[in-house]
Amino acid sequence: MVLVLTHDDCLTHVTPPGHPEQVNRLVAVERGLAGLAVTRQDAPMGEVADVLRCHPASHHDRIKARVPVQGWAQLDADTHLSPGSYLAAMRAVGGICHAVDHVLTTGGRAFAATRPPGHHATRDTAMGFCLFGTVAIGAMRALDLHGLTRVAVLDFDVHHGNGTQDLLWNEPRVRFVSSHQMPLYPGTGHPSERGAHDQITNLPLAEGTGGARMREVWQPVLDDLLTWQPELILISAGFDAHRADPLAGLIWTENDFAWLTGAICDVADECCEGRVVSSLEGGYDLDALADSVAAHVEELARQDA
Protein backbone atom coordinates (compact mmCIF):
# COMPACT_ATOMS: atom_id res chain seq x y z
CA MET A 1 0.00 0.00 0.00
CA VAL A 2 1.28 3.46 -0.90
CA LEU A 3 2.29 5.68 2.03
CA VAL A 4 0.98 9.25 1.63
CA LEU A 5 2.72 11.94 3.66
CA THR A 6 1.24 15.39 4.14
CA HIS A 7 0.67 17.91 6.93
CA ASP A 8 -1.65 20.80 7.72
CA ASP A 9 1.40 23.05 8.03
CA CYS A 10 1.65 22.87 4.25
CA LEU A 11 -1.62 24.81 4.13
CA THR A 12 -0.03 27.70 6.04
CA HIS A 13 2.24 28.63 3.12
CA VAL A 14 -0.17 31.23 1.75
CA THR A 15 0.64 32.98 -1.51
CA PRO A 16 -0.86 36.31 -2.66
CA PRO A 17 -4.33 36.32 -4.26
CA GLY A 18 -4.26 35.03 -7.80
CA HIS A 19 -0.98 33.17 -7.38
CA PRO A 20 -1.11 29.76 -9.13
CA GLU A 21 0.81 27.93 -6.37
CA GLN A 22 -2.04 28.24 -3.90
CA VAL A 23 -3.35 26.48 -0.80
CA ASN A 24 -6.22 25.02 -2.82
CA ARG A 25 -3.73 22.86 -4.71
CA LEU A 26 -3.50 20.60 -1.66
CA VAL A 27 -7.28 20.61 -1.37
CA ALA A 28 -7.39 19.37 -4.97
CA VAL A 29 -4.76 16.72 -4.21
CA GLU A 30 -6.89 15.48 -1.31
CA ARG A 31 -9.86 15.30 -3.64
CA GLY A 32 -7.81 13.14 -5.98
CA LEU A 33 -6.71 10.87 -3.15
CA ALA A 34 -10.23 10.44 -1.75
CA GLY A 35 -11.27 6.82 -1.74
CA LEU A 36 -7.88 5.43 -2.73
CA ALA A 37 -6.42 2.61 -0.66
CA VAL A 38 -3.42 4.38 0.84
CA THR A 39 -1.77 4.59 4.24
CA ARG A 40 -1.47 8.10 5.64
CA GLN A 41 1.05 9.69 7.98
CA ASP A 42 1.80 13.25 8.96
CA ALA A 43 4.98 14.50 7.36
CA PRO A 44 7.46 15.09 10.20
CA MET A 45 9.35 18.34 10.59
CA GLY A 46 12.48 18.28 8.47
CA GLU A 47 15.91 18.56 9.99
CA VAL A 48 18.24 21.44 9.14
CA ALA A 49 21.00 18.86 8.65
CA ASP A 50 19.07 17.44 5.70
CA VAL A 51 18.66 20.87 4.12
CA LEU A 52 22.42 21.32 4.49
CA ARG A 53 23.05 18.20 2.42
CA CYS A 54 22.15 20.38 -0.59
CA HIS A 55 22.12 24.03 0.49
CA PRO A 56 24.63 26.16 2.42
CA ALA A 57 23.60 27.31 5.88
CA SER A 58 23.39 30.86 4.54
CA HIS A 59 20.53 29.87 2.22
CA HIS A 60 18.57 28.12 4.96
CA ASP A 61 19.11 30.98 7.38
CA ARG A 62 18.16 33.60 4.79
CA ILE A 63 14.83 31.88 4.04
CA LYS A 64 14.02 31.52 7.73
CA ALA A 65 14.94 35.12 8.47
CA ARG A 66 12.85 36.53 5.61
CA VAL A 67 9.60 34.96 6.83
CA PRO A 68 7.26 37.86 7.68
CA VAL A 69 5.22 38.23 10.84
CA GLN A 70 2.24 39.07 8.64
CA GLY A 71 1.54 39.55 4.95
CA TRP A 72 4.16 38.51 2.43
CA ALA A 73 7.85 38.82 1.75
CA GLN A 74 8.70 38.62 -1.95
CA LEU A 75 11.88 36.76 -2.91
CA ASP A 76 11.47 37.20 -6.67
CA ALA A 77 8.66 37.90 -9.12
CA ASP A 78 7.13 34.45 -8.51
CA THR A 79 8.26 33.36 -5.06
CA HIS A 80 6.73 34.62 -1.82
CA LEU A 81 6.95 33.90 1.88
CA SER A 82 4.06 34.11 4.33
CA PRO A 83 4.21 33.57 8.11
CA GLY A 84 3.79 29.78 7.68
CA SER A 85 6.14 29.28 4.74
CA TYR A 86 9.20 28.07 6.63
CA LEU A 87 7.17 25.47 8.55
CA ALA A 88 5.57 24.28 5.31
CA ALA A 89 8.92 24.00 3.55
CA MET A 90 10.42 22.06 6.43
CA ARG A 91 7.43 19.69 6.42
CA ALA A 92 8.16 19.12 2.73
CA VAL A 93 11.77 18.30 3.62
CA GLY A 94 10.63 16.02 6.44
CA GLY A 95 8.09 14.34 4.22
CA ILE A 96 10.56 13.41 1.50
CA CYS A 97 13.15 12.25 4.02
CA HIS A 98 10.67 10.10 5.93
CA ALA A 99 9.40 8.66 2.65
CA VAL A 100 12.95 7.69 1.67
CA ASP A 101 13.56 6.11 5.09
CA HIS A 102 10.27 4.23 4.88
CA VAL A 103 10.74 2.64 1.46
CA LEU A 104 14.38 1.77 2.15
CA THR A 105 13.60 0.07 5.46
CA THR A 106 10.18 -1.48 4.86
CA GLY A 107 9.81 -1.43 1.07
CA GLY A 108 6.86 -0.23 -0.97
CA ARG A 109 6.16 3.20 -2.39
CA ALA A 110 5.42 6.65 -1.03
CA PHE A 111 3.94 9.93 -2.21
CA ALA A 112 4.79 13.21 -0.45
CA ALA A 113 1.77 15.49 -0.93
CA THR A 114 3.45 18.62 0.37
CA ARG A 115 4.09 22.19 -0.69
CA PRO A 116 5.86 24.44 -1.52
CA PRO A 117 7.42 22.52 -4.40
CA GLY A 118 11.19 22.25 -4.64
CA HIS A 119 12.72 21.49 -8.02
CA HIS A 120 13.56 25.09 -8.99
CA ALA A 121 15.47 25.92 -5.78
CA THR A 122 19.18 26.08 -6.62
CA ARG A 123 22.01 25.82 -4.15
CA ASP A 124 21.68 29.39 -2.93
CA THR A 125 18.55 30.80 -4.60
CA ALA A 126 14.84 30.31 -3.96
CA MET A 127 12.92 30.70 -7.21
CA GLY A 128 9.97 29.48 -9.23
CA PHE A 129 7.72 28.98 -6.15
CA CYS A 130 10.43 26.78 -4.55
CA LEU A 131 12.41 27.31 -1.34
CA PHE A 132 14.44 24.12 -0.72
CA GLY A 133 15.34 21.38 -3.21
CA THR A 134 13.23 18.69 -1.58
CA VAL A 135 13.73 15.79 -4.01
CA ALA A 136 17.48 16.41 -4.25
CA ILE A 137 17.56 16.48 -0.44
CA GLY A 138 15.80 13.11 -0.40
CA ALA A 139 18.31 11.69 -2.86
CA MET A 140 21.24 12.87 -0.77
CA ARG A 141 19.71 11.36 2.36
CA ALA A 142 19.44 8.02 0.59
CA LEU A 143 23.10 8.22 -0.41
CA ASP A 144 24.62 9.62 2.77
CA LEU A 145 22.46 8.03 5.45
CA HIS A 146 21.46 4.74 3.85
CA GLY A 147 24.65 4.12 1.91
CA LEU A 148 23.12 3.78 -1.54
CA THR A 149 25.39 4.19 -4.55
CA ARG A 150 22.87 4.55 -7.42
CA VAL A 151 19.76 6.75 -7.15
CA ALA A 152 17.62 7.93 -10.06
CA VAL A 153 15.67 11.21 -9.91
CA LEU A 154 13.03 11.47 -12.64
CA ASP A 155 11.23 14.77 -13.21
CA PHE A 156 8.18 15.04 -15.50
CA ASP A 157 7.04 18.52 -14.42
CA VAL A 158 6.41 20.72 -17.46
CA HIS A 159 9.16 23.11 -16.29
CA HIS A 160 12.79 22.06 -16.24
CA GLY A 161 14.05 21.04 -12.81
CA ASN A 162 16.91 23.51 -12.89
CA GLY A 163 17.31 23.49 -9.12
CA THR A 164 17.57 19.72 -8.88
CA GLN A 165 20.04 19.78 -11.76
CA ASP A 166 22.14 22.42 -9.99
CA LEU A 167 22.11 20.56 -6.67
CA LEU A 168 23.07 17.24 -8.27
CA TRP A 169 25.41 18.55 -11.00
CA ASN A 170 28.53 17.16 -9.33
CA GLU A 171 26.96 14.00 -7.87
CA PRO A 172 28.04 10.87 -9.80
CA ARG A 173 25.83 8.57 -7.73
CA VAL A 174 22.61 10.15 -9.04
CA ARG A 175 21.13 10.06 -12.52
CA PHE A 176 18.80 12.99 -13.10
CA VAL A 177 16.32 12.98 -15.98
CA SER A 178 13.95 15.86 -16.75
CA SER A 179 11.34 16.14 -19.49
CA HIS A 180 9.96 19.64 -19.94
CA GLN A 181 8.51 22.08 -22.42
CA MET A 182 11.08 24.21 -24.22
CA PRO A 183 11.14 27.15 -24.55
CA LEU A 184 9.57 27.83 -21.16
CA TYR A 185 10.53 29.03 -17.69
CA PRO A 186 13.25 28.83 -16.36
CA GLY A 187 15.03 28.65 -19.74
CA THR A 188 17.37 25.80 -18.86
CA GLY A 189 17.25 22.10 -19.72
CA HIS A 190 19.06 21.84 -23.06
CA PRO A 191 20.34 18.34 -23.93
CA SER A 192 23.89 19.69 -23.79
CA GLU A 193 23.52 20.18 -20.01
CA ARG A 194 24.95 16.80 -19.02
CA GLY A 195 26.36 17.22 -15.51
CA ALA A 196 29.94 16.93 -14.30
CA HIS A 197 29.86 13.16 -14.76
CA ASP A 198 27.61 12.91 -17.83
CA GLN A 199 24.84 11.74 -15.50
CA ILE A 200 22.11 14.24 -16.43
CA THR A 201 19.62 13.75 -19.26
CA ASN A 202 17.35 16.55 -20.44
CA LEU A 203 14.40 15.79 -22.71
CA PRO A 204 13.01 19.07 -24.07
CA LEU A 205 9.54 18.90 -25.66
CA ALA A 206 7.95 21.38 -28.04
CA GLU A 207 4.74 23.16 -27.18
CA GLY A 208 1.80 21.00 -28.18
CA THR A 209 3.56 17.72 -27.44
CA GLY A 210 1.19 14.98 -26.37
CA GLY A 211 1.44 11.53 -24.87
CA ALA A 212 2.68 9.66 -27.93
CA ARG A 213 5.84 11.77 -28.23
CA MET A 214 6.32 11.67 -24.46
CA ARG A 215 6.42 7.87 -24.61
CA GLU A 216 8.95 7.98 -27.45
CA VAL A 217 11.43 10.11 -25.52
CA TRP A 218 10.99 8.46 -22.10
CA GLN A 219 11.09 4.79 -23.09
CA PRO A 220 14.78 4.70 -24.17
CA VAL A 221 15.78 6.51 -20.98
CA LEU A 222 13.88 4.02 -18.85
CA ASP A 223 15.44 1.14 -20.80
CA ASP A 224 18.87 2.61 -20.08
CA LEU A 225 18.04 2.81 -16.37
CA LEU A 226 17.43 -0.94 -16.41
CA THR A 227 21.07 -1.34 -17.39
CA TRP A 228 22.28 1.10 -14.71
CA GLN A 229 20.22 -0.62 -12.00
CA PRO A 230 19.24 2.18 -9.58
CA GLU A 231 18.69 1.17 -5.96
CA LEU A 232 15.95 3.78 -5.48
CA ILE A 233 13.86 5.94 -7.81
CA LEU A 234 12.57 9.36 -6.80
CA ILE A 235 9.98 11.21 -8.87
CA SER A 236 9.47 14.96 -9.12
CA ALA A 237 5.78 14.62 -9.90
CA GLY A 238 4.59 17.79 -11.55
CA PHE A 239 1.23 17.60 -13.30
CA ASP A 240 1.40 20.89 -15.22
CA ALA A 241 2.08 19.12 -18.52
CA HIS A 242 -1.68 18.42 -18.52
CA ARG A 243 -3.54 19.89 -21.46
CA ALA A 244 -5.72 21.99 -19.11
CA ASP A 245 -2.86 23.61 -17.20
CA PRO A 246 -2.76 27.41 -17.53
CA LEU A 247 1.02 27.86 -17.21
CA ALA A 248 2.29 25.78 -20.13
CA GLY A 249 1.45 24.25 -23.49
CA LEU A 250 1.92 20.48 -23.43
CA ILE A 251 -1.20 18.40 -23.99
CA TRP A 252 -0.84 15.35 -21.76
CA THR A 253 -3.82 13.74 -20.07
CA GLU A 254 -4.11 11.88 -16.79
CA ASN A 255 -3.71 8.66 -18.80
CA ASP A 256 -0.26 9.84 -19.87
CA PHE A 257 0.76 10.43 -16.26
CA ALA A 258 -0.53 6.95 -15.45
CA TRP A 259 1.49 5.41 -18.29
CA LEU A 260 4.72 7.14 -17.26
CA THR A 261 4.21 6.28 -13.59
CA GLY A 262 3.61 2.65 -14.48
CA ALA A 263 6.66 2.54 -16.73
CA ILE A 264 8.82 3.97 -13.93
CA CYS A 265 7.40 1.44 -11.50
CA ASP A 266 8.23 -1.36 -13.95
CA VAL A 267 11.87 -0.25 -13.84
CA ALA A 268 11.76 -0.13 -10.05
CA ASP A 269 10.31 -3.65 -9.92
CA GLU A 270 13.23 -4.89 -12.03
CA CYS A 271 15.99 -2.95 -10.27
CA CYS A 272 15.21 -2.03 -6.70
CA GLU A 273 12.41 -4.18 -5.30
CA GLY A 274 9.83 -1.65 -6.43
CA ARG A 275 11.10 1.19 -4.24
CA VAL A 276 9.73 4.51 -5.52
CA VAL A 277 9.29 7.84 -3.72
CA SER A 278 7.23 10.51 -5.45
CA SER A 279 6.95 14.16 -4.43
CA LEU A 280 4.43 16.75 -5.60
CA GLU A 281 5.81 19.55 -7.76
CA GLY A 282 3.60 21.59 -10.14
CA GLY A 283 0.07 21.36 -11.47
CA TYR A 284 -2.12 24.46 -11.46
CA ASP A 285 -5.48 23.57 -12.94
CA LEU A 286 -7.20 22.23 -9.85
CA ASP A 287 -9.48 19.70 -11.55
CA ALA A 288 -6.66 18.40 -13.75
CA LEU A 289 -4.41 18.20 -10.70
CA ALA A 290 -6.94 16.12 -8.77
CA ASP A 291 -7.48 13.74 -11.68
CA SER A 292 -3.77 13.43 -12.43
CA VAL A 293 -2.79 12.77 -8.82
CA ALA A 294 -5.46 10.09 -8.65
CA ALA A 295 -4.07 8.42 -11.77
CA HIS A 296 -0.51 8.70 -10.48
CA VAL A 297 -1.18 7.26 -7.04
CA GLU A 298 -3.50 4.56 -8.38
CA GLU A 299 -0.66 3.42 -10.61
CA LEU A 300 1.81 3.48 -7.73
CA ALA A 301 -0.62 1.33 -5.77
CA ARG A 302 -1.45 -0.99 -8.65
CA GLN A 303 2.17 -1.67 -9.42
CA ASP A 304 2.86 -2.18 -5.71
CA ALA A 305 0.15 -4.81 -5.35
Which residues are annotated as catalytic? 120
User: Which residues 6+ apart lie within 8 Å of 62 measured at CB?
Assistant: none
User: How many secondary structure helices (H) and strands (E) does the chain include?
Assistant: 9, 10
d(CA 127, CA 129): 6
Chain centroid to CA 7: how far?
A: 16
Selection from 274, 198, 292, 302 nearest residue 238 by Cα: 292
Three-point CA angle 58, 59, 60, nearest 5°: 95
Q: CB-hemisphere CA count at 13 Å for 52?
A: 6
Q: H/E element holding 200?
A: strand 200-205
User: Which residues 6+ apart lie within 8 Å of 216 measured at CB?
Assistant: none
User: Which residues 6+ apart lie within 8 Å of 212 measured at CB?
Assistant: none
